[in-house]
Amino acid sequence: MLPGLRARGLPFFLLLSIAGCDVSLPGMLVGESAHFRLFLDPALDPQTAAYWESHDGLAALETDFADKRTMLKTPDGQKIDYHLMTPTDIGAACGFPEFDQDDLESGCAVNDQHAIAAAYIPHQHELMHAYLRLLLPDALPIPFLVEGIAQSLGCHTEAGTSLNGVVAWEQATTEDADDQAQDVYSQGGLFARYLIRTQGIDAYLRYYAQAPSRRDPALFAANFSAFWSMNIDDVWTAMHTVAAGAATTDGSICPCSLATLPTDGQLVTNDLLSQPYWTLPNTYGSSIALTTPSAEDFILDDCEGVAPEIFSISPGVSPGATIYADGNVTLAEVPDARPRYAVAPISRASVGHYLADDCATADAYPLPADFFNAPGSVFVIANQLTTVPFNKFIQLVLPYATQVAGPGSAGICDSCSFEPSVACTPPMPLSVGFGQPVAAGPLNAEFVLQGLPAGIEPPGPEDNFLQFLNTGPQ
């Protein structure tokens, strides 16, 4: 991971915004762009400081600004001072009463929200506060709305809300619930995202601009009804209802304005600072093959933040091991035509009929030569929204001989027979942890997948993979 970039999977912690007072933030100015000035905390470790002195953190900030601008229509204005700081200095500057120095998620927007203190680049939540201050400088709604809109837009964040955890709107809007701060962020984020999805972001921004600043449930409900011509109780119920095909925990809304992932099968140039994600082409009705570097997970997110995440988990590599571009392969079919994005880095991608209902109609997928330099996995992710078990077939083309292992539900064969009476080379099904020698050339695989009732989120692909025990080209 690049120093000062957000690691995937970090838990979401309380984020705080401080407005209306001047706060002195430590830092040396190291660069300036159209919309930002970047400062580095003198207390940063030398590796992190050296990295950002030689790399363009401003590119990551400008990418975030441009991406969010496609939805917010953020104007140019006063530049945002972005201070990359140690967690300890963030705690002191932001006034966190109880601070965990290992909490890399903490941050705050200060000095009337034109300055940000953060431990990584870009801190999407705090940047949203700064963007809203540029866009609507006179808006003063309650914290439920201020923090909610900061949780609304983001790409691959931890800002989602469980739809099963219902808190009374009277408590969330007045911060009178058991977990006051978390309910403001969690329920406020869900509230903003639901209205943006159903009413549009332009309408939501107009609502935000005129919303009252007093924490009074009756005033909040009356203003909501007058603006939207809807009842707050009805909307609160609707936003906690899990729709067909939706996840039980929603996610932030990603603008998905960045470049579309090339699907010509060639190596992709990744720059995590200017391309933190790739917008996907519509592959509904076919499947997409993607390779990821060793130790990198594969993640597809719904741009709207409604559908479940599609992912595979890398088995990881030993410390100091060589990282190969095509370390793992995922063959995936999406369950619908929703716009989606792939979290970078992606090494290469192609679209075809790689997952088929019968072996003979599966498009052959040539495994990249780079894949055979070290052990790796081929994951299979199919649309499991059916009520009965079903089979999926893939056909791989191996440039080298190797050994293959997998779960007991998978079988491999050098032909499309897959019949107990027909000898396959090697035999099938596979045994977990025991490698079967396979020759260079075609290799067919069959997977038995379980159907899932409507409303049940698909599990991760723990049982739907082939493990290649590669030791280099043979």
Q: Is 22 left (phi over 0), alpha (psi -120 to 50) or beta?
A: beta
Q: Is 277 strand, coil or helix?
A: strand
Residues in the chain with pLDDT values less than 50: 1, 5-20, 432
| pLDDT at res. 195 | 98
Residue 206: how many other CB atoms lie within 10 Å: 14
Is the bond into 122 cis (omega within 30 degrees of 0)? yes
pLDDT of 442: 93
Q: Where are any strands of DSSP class E within 308-409? A: 310-312, 328-332, 340-343, 348-352, 364-366, 376-381, 390-398, 402-405
Alpha helices in 114-271, H assignment, sequence order: 124-135, 143-150, 169-174, 180-199, 201-210, 217-228, 232-239
Q: What percent of the chain has pLDDT over 90?
A: 58
Closest C-alpha among 135, 196, 125, 181 to residue 155: 125
Q: Which structure tokens are listed for 37?
A: 């000035």
Over residues 442-460, the pLDDT tens digits come to 999 988 887 665 555 555 5
Q: Residue 182 has which token pair?
A: 């978390």
Sequence length of the chain is 474
Residue of 40, 116, 30 lying closest to 78 (CA atoms):
116
Residue 350 has a pLDDT of: 97
**Which of 99, 103, 79, 89 minimizes the C-alpha distance to 24?**
89
- Name the pTM for this structure: 0.90
Radius of gyration of the chain (CA): 25
Assign a CATH topology to domain 1-137: Glutaredoxin (3.40.30)
Amino acid, res. 372: F
So where are the chain's domains? 1-137, 152-254, 277-468
The DSSP bridge pattern shows strands 328-332 and 376-381 to be parallel
The pair phi, psi for residue 302, each rounded to 5°, is -80, 125
pLDDT at 105: 67
Tell me the CA distances in angstroms from 122 to 47, 50, 242, 264, 274, one per residue in order: 18, 18, 31, 30, 11
pLDDT for the residue numbered 101: 54
